[in-house]
């Protein structure tokens, strides 16, 4: 049964990537990457909310832990692996630095407001917000994300465009619409299977004597597989701009859409919510953001940057195991 679920999960991921690329070819960049990022995020947010509503120990930190794991995997894993694949094949790859600046300015603000600032407010004890603070934070995330989308798709769309190779094929409107429908179906299957096999993953981690915090990382990794594979395939086509659009757009969507959703549910249902990270996690988050900023500030990639990002990811997982 477990083997069947894993096989179905892999098939769902590969199908989602295929349909996402078909849609992207029709609507063009950066709309294709936005569709994939938002679709994954909406399904991810629904899973977070459903698990929080079930109650039980640790539900108040589930949103924080899942989103932090997703951001760390995106910044260090997806960007790092894509960069390494591109460096192995092309040595260096070009991209538009203005798009990176726009995305990182938005991302840093959202990350600090949601995962860092709650540790330093004084209205309530602990790494949490009061209801008014929570609502203000949710609105801030929406405003920043909406501003980013407007900039990406209207005001400065040219900064996010990737060069189209001769291998790109025209996709008709009916085929694109069908692929969009199947994209959501495949992503839904991936998310549901990730939730279904999470007890198996948890049992395996516990049996190995590892911390249960790794469960959230494993589930986040499964959820991000479609975007990760799409980003790696783009890097193999010498389109690292698309990889950046997928990775940073996904990180922004994960926080910018999931947090407001969680805020609404927790406010209406009077559920506890802990957002502030501990000191170790804040250091790792700061290191990851700073490293990404430095490695993407020249408009060209190389293998060294990729290795540093992957070392950051390894140390993040290592410090979970050996806290």
pLDDT score recorded for residue 254: 87
Q: Which residue has the higher pLDDT, 217 or 312?
A: 312
- Closest by CA to 49, choosing from 277, 263, 275, is 263
HSE, side-chain direction, 13 A CA sphere, residue 93: 31
What pTM does this model have?
0.85
User: Ranked by mean pLDDT, which of 35-39, 156-160, 222-226 comes out on top?
Assistant: 156-160
pLDDT given at position 168: 47
Supply the pLDDT for residue 109.
96
The pLDDT of 174-191, averaged and rounded, is 75
- pLDDT, mean of residues 5-20: 73
- pLDDT of 16-61, one tens digit each? 767 776 776 777 767 777 877 777 777 777 777 777 776 566 678 8
Mean pLDDT along residues 198-210? 75
The per-residue pLDDT for 163 is: 65
Cα 213 → chain centroid: 18
Q: What does the pLDDT read at residue 270?
A: 86
Tell me the pLDDT tens digit for each residue of 48-105.
Answer: 777 777 656 667 888 888 899 999 999 999 999 999 999 999 999 999 999 999 999 9
Q: Which of 130-134, 147-151, 182-186, 246-250 has the lowest mean pLDDT?
A: 182-186
- Give me the residue label for tokens 């969680």: 262
Three-state DSSP string of the chain? CHHHHHHHHHHHHHHHHHHHHHHHHHHCCCHHHHHHHHHHHHHHHHHHHHHHHCCCCCHHHHHHHHHHHHHHHHHHHHHHHHHHHHHHHHCCCECCHHHHHHHHHHHHHHHHHHHHHHHCCCCCCCCCCCHHHHHHHHHHHHHHHHHHHHHHHHHCHHHHCCCCCCCCCCCCHHHHHHHHHHHHHHHHHHHHHHHHHHHHHHHHHHHCCCCCHHHHHHHHHHHCHHHHHHHHHHHHCCCHHHHHHHHHHHHHHHHHHHHHHHHHHHHHHCCCCCCCCCHHHHHHHHHHHHHHHHHCCCCECCHHHHHHHHHHHHHHHHHHHCC
Sole residue written with tokens 């594979």: 229
Classify burial at 309, counting beta carbons within 10 Å of its beta carbon; exposed 0-12, middle 13-18, buried 19 or more. Answer: buried
Question: What CA–CA distance (Å, rounded) separates 86 from 80?
Answer: 10
């Amino acid at each position: 049964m477990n083997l069947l679920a894993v096989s179905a999960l892999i098939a769902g991921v590969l199908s989602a990537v295929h349909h996402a690329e078909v849609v992207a070819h029709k609507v063009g960049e950066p709309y294709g990457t936005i569709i994939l990022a938002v679709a994954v995020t909406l399904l991810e947010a629904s899973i977070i909310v459903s698990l929080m509503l079930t109650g039980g120990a640790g539900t108040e930190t589930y949103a924080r832990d899942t989103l932090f794991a997703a951001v760390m995997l995106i910044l260090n894993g997806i960007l790092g692996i894509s960069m390494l694949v591109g460096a192995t094949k092309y040595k260096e790859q070009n991209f538009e630095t203005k798009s990176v600046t726009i995305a990182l300015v938005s991302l840093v603000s959202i990350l600090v407001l949601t995962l860092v600032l709650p540790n330093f407010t004084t209205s309530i004890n602990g790494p949490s917000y009061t209801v008014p603070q929570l609502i203000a934070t949710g609105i801030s995330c929406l405003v920043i994300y909406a501003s980013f989308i407007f900039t990406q798709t209207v005001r400065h769309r040219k900064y996010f465009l990737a060069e189209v190779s001769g291998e790109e094929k025209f996709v008709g409107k009916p085929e694109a619409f069908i692929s969009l429908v199947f994209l959501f179906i495949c992503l839904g299957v991936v998310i549901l299977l990730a939730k279904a096999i999470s007890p198996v993953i948890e049992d395996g981690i516990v049996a190995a004597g590892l911390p249960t915090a790794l469960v959230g990382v494993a589930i986040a990794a499964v959820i991000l597989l479609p975007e990760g594979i799409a980003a790696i395939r783009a890097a193999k086509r010498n389109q690292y701009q698309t990889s950046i659009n997928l990775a940073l757009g996904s990180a922004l969507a994960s926080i910018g859409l999931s947090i407001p959703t969680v805020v609404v549910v927790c406010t209406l249902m009077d559920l506890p919510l802990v957002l502030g990270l501990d000191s170790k996690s804040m250091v790792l988050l700061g290191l990851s953001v700073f490293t990404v900023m430095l490695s993407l500030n020249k408009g060209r990639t190389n293998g060294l940057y990729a290795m540093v990002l992957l070392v950051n990811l390894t140390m993040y997982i290592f410090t979970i195991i050996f806290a």
